[in-house]
Amino acid sequence: MKRPTLAEYLAEVPMPIRRSMLEGSAGLEAGAAAAVGRLFSAVAARHEPIEAPSAQSFRDAAASESAFRMLLRTLNAHAPMVSTAAALSVKAEWVARRPKPAPKTNAGDPGGTAAAKIDPRSWPALWQEYDKGLAQAGIKPSSLSRYRASIHRCAQLVGQGIGTKELNFLTAFQLSEAFQAAPPETSGRKALRPCTVANYIEGLVALGKHGGADPEALAGLRFMRDHLLGRADVSDKLKFARIAEIMEKGGFDYIAYRIGELRAEAEALPDHTAAKISALQTAAICAVSMNKPGRTGDVSRWQIGTDLLREVDGAWRLKWLQEKTERQTEAGRLWPEVSEILDDLILGGRPERLIHLRYRELNGVNWLTLSDKVMASKWPSAMVHAALGIPLHDLRTLAADYLRLHDPDHAAGIIRTHLGHGTLEAAASYQAACEGDAAARSWAAIRSSIAAG
């Protein structure tokens, strides 16, 4: 049987791509023309846009992972106008089919893999009894989950002989020392900051309070928690140093510059690469956070069509229910530049004319993964840190500093609304700073008036 010629393989391939491949035929990999031909035959059969083949067309074009990757390389070289964004899911399917190595055991890592599923039955028997009272205390589910996660971390160390089942000062002291030292024989993790350890002890305080533990013993727990929080206040100087450093770089001007770099990086990468998706995700997180900074856990859960809505004119709106305060907050219409970046994110390299179709396809999915999958709550903060050198939460402080320096007389209320604080106590430090700045500005004006008089 006569083998098809190169031109016959490319019969249904668009003219610019066919010409490029024919002219560069000497450098084509074996089977490349056949794979490209199958792809565009599938595209034609499904009446798909030539510039945006579907995932199924990529599946039909290659029967093996090696052929699939060869197809992507060929398109990248000869068809840069064709988006390979839909191939990303197909690539993940091929990777999933690869033989898996035997899972590693982590017997020496009590806090390790998958954060060891929380099971109160592994706690000391006394703590399990206390947990019944905690469960009936009427605590909101998110807070209850945080308490139990903290209690579980403490229970892991108690199970290794650090501290005791008694909820008292001695147990709190020994646990805090172990968490902050964290040698391999204890937690198997890096040393924790005082603020984090204070949160763990707070979980034990809640357990004992609602479970009926001895009040005097609980006073010892609270003393240790407050001591750790006092040390945490000192460690806040680290945050101030980070803020000062990014302000020296230009503040929001620097962040905007980095967003531009991320977009340029994404533009230069093939649509099917994880690096491109990562650059688009990071640019979107930074841009939205400049417009209105959310807490990292909330940011990780936003959904398209629910929290982030695109209007017919192309403007995006943002509103969401905050997990920490259980209050609604919103940014209204996002800045045009931010809306443009969100369009880039959901298109992933596809032609701009498909934006409305793409938005309808993604209704109800996570805005970062563009699927039902949700990233870990701290993932957005890690992405911001990699791009800017500061965690996501620092952008909230940076925004507050800009507002405070711009108009200290009215900034406190604006900051509280902008950052979504649920109580006056949560905004107390910003209130004090604003009042101090306003007083200093007023005194400067009065002094100038006296000097002029």
pLDDT attached to residue 194? 86
pTM over 0.95: no
Mean pLDDT confidence for 55-64? 96
Question: pLDDT for 191-246, tens place per residue?
Answer: 788 888 999 999 999 999 999 999 988 999 999 998 888 776 555 556 677 777 88
Cβ contacts of residue 348 below 8 Å, gap of 6+? 83, 85, 88, 271, 276, 277, 280, 370
pLDDT of residue 104: 55
Look at residue 3 and tell me whether its pLDDT is greater than 60: yes
Q: What is the mean pLDDT of residues 373-392?
A: 91
Task: Beginning with the edge strand found earlier in the chain, give each strand of the sheet holding 328-333 in spatial order.
Answer: 308-310, 316-321, 328-333
pLDDT exceeds 60 at position 105: no
More confident residue, 414 or 70: 70
Q: Is the pLDDT of residue 76 over 80?
A: yes
Q: What is the DSSP string of 13-73?
A: S-HHHHHHHHHTGGGPPTTHHHHHHHHHHHHHHHT--TTS--HHHHHHH-SSHHHHHHHHH
Residue 259 confidence (pLDDT) above 70: yes
Give yes or no for residue 420 having a pLDDT over 50. yes
Residue 192: phi and psi, rounded to 5, are -100, 150
Q: What is the pLDDT of residues 134-144, one digit of tens each?
A: 999 888 888 89
Query: What would the DSSP string read from start to end of 147-179?
Result: HHHHHHHHHHHHTTTSS-SS-SHHHHHHHHHHH
Q: Of the ranges 68-77, 165-174, 177-186, 232-241, which one carries the lowest mean pLDDT score?
A: 232-241
- Measured N-to-C along each axis, helices 392-406 and 379-388 cross at an angle, to the nearest 10 degrees, of 70
Q: Which residues pair with 366 in a beta bridge?
A: 303
If you average pLDDT over residues 136-159, what whole number do you get? Answer: 91
Q: Taking 50 as the threshold, does the pLDDT of residue 108 lie above it? A: no
Please report which confidence band the pLDDT of residue 164 belongs to, taking 50, 70 and 90 as the band edges.
confident
**Mean pLDDT computed over 334-349:** 96
pLDDT band at 130 (very low <50, low <70, confident <90, very high): very high
